[in-house]
Amino acid sequence: MLTGDLHSRERDRAAISHHYDLSNEFYELILDPNMAYSSGYHREPSWSLEEAQTAKLDLICRKLGLEPGMHLVDIGCGWGSLTLHAAERYGVRVTGVTLSSEQRDYVHKRAAERGVGDRVNVSLRHFRDLSGAGVGDGEIDAVASVEMGEHVGDAEYEVFTSAIYRYLRPGGRVMIQQMSRSNGAKGDRPGGGPFIETYIAPDMHMKPLHRTLELIAGAGLEIRDVQAMREHYPQTVEGWAENLESNWDTAVALVGEEMARVWRLYLAGGSLAFEENRMGVDQIVAVKPSPSGVSDMPTSQLDWLA
């Protein structure tokens, strides 16, 4: 049971630790080699989990228009799937942000192993406190947040989007991949229901897509594209569930049989929620307007999907 004020720095850190500090070794069993804990991009039905996650990471980097020398801030960087991919394949400098010490240490280790330690810095701090991580207001070329916004909370989301606006330079882009709940879902269970809220992700808050768009635009960011990816999530979860079953004995040894069974139910229920359109996930691209209003954003998402 979490204590303290909802979405205070201390409680947010405890909520993230509850879920993400379970065991790096456990997540390595479940996830693909990228360690991407978010919906993949299954453009081809035959793609493996790793292929779909790599395609998702490339899609994000293209949407952000990343080029060598740029500075990307990855808010809620997880185990570094996007952070490492962008640094290694796109030559950008990345400041990752997480509240999980397990994740921070993991990303630093992998960055050194992959020869991009000089371009990757993961900071254990709240998204509101990035000045201490070398993030200056109005200086950042691109910001990404991949399925982290659900942990921000409804009351704090304006603070979240305002911070992104403040960090970005004029013309800088943001890509937010975020889960949502349908308009018909019960408003008293924004975290996905009592099971998930109790055993998996306490304090998580999902809102309808239109509300998220209102908050992003309300911060002064110009929304340029929204790509629905709901149908991709069940395929991603199927891959995670197959990994869990294939490594069941090892998973039980790492986290215990009770937690392994919790995860089995969590994955099955989550997949069904997306299949039945009770939950969705979208990639939202926005830009901080320049004083002249001129933007180098492509006018069609087909430029990204090619």
Tens digits of residue pLDDT in 192-236: 556 566 666 666 778 999 999 999 999 999 999 999 999 999 999
As a whole number of angstroms, the distance between CA 219 and CA 256 comes to 44
Other beta carbons less than 10 A from residue 171's beta carbon: 17
So what's the pLDDT on residue 4? 46
Q: Is residue 72 part of a domain?
A: yes
Q: Is residue 302 part of a domain?
A: no
So what's the pLDDT on residue 212? 95
Q: Is residue 204 part of a domain?
A: yes
Q: Is residue 224 part of a domain?
A: yes
Q: Tell me: the pLDDT tens digits for 129-144? A: 888 778 889 999 999 9
Q: Which of 87, 89, 95 is nearest to 111 (CA)?
A: 87
Strands 120-124 and 279-287: unpaired
So what's the pLDDT on residue 172? 96
Q: Is residue 126 part of a domain?
A: yes
So what's the pLDDT on residue 258? 92
Is residue 176 within 8 A of residue 283, CB to CB? The reply is yes
So what's the pLDDT on residue 231? 96
So what's the pLDDT on residue 303? 62
Q: Is residue 38 part of a domain?
A: yes
Q: Is residue 304 part of a domain?
A: no
13 contacts: CB under 8 Å, gap ≥ 6:
99, 126
So what's the pLDDT on residue 210? 95
CATH of the domain at 88: 3.40.50.150
Q: Is residue 173 part of a domain?
A: yes
Give the total number of structural domains in the chain: 1
So what's the pLDDT on residue 5? 46
Residue ranges, the chain, pLDDT below 70: 1-21, 183-203, 293-296, 298-306
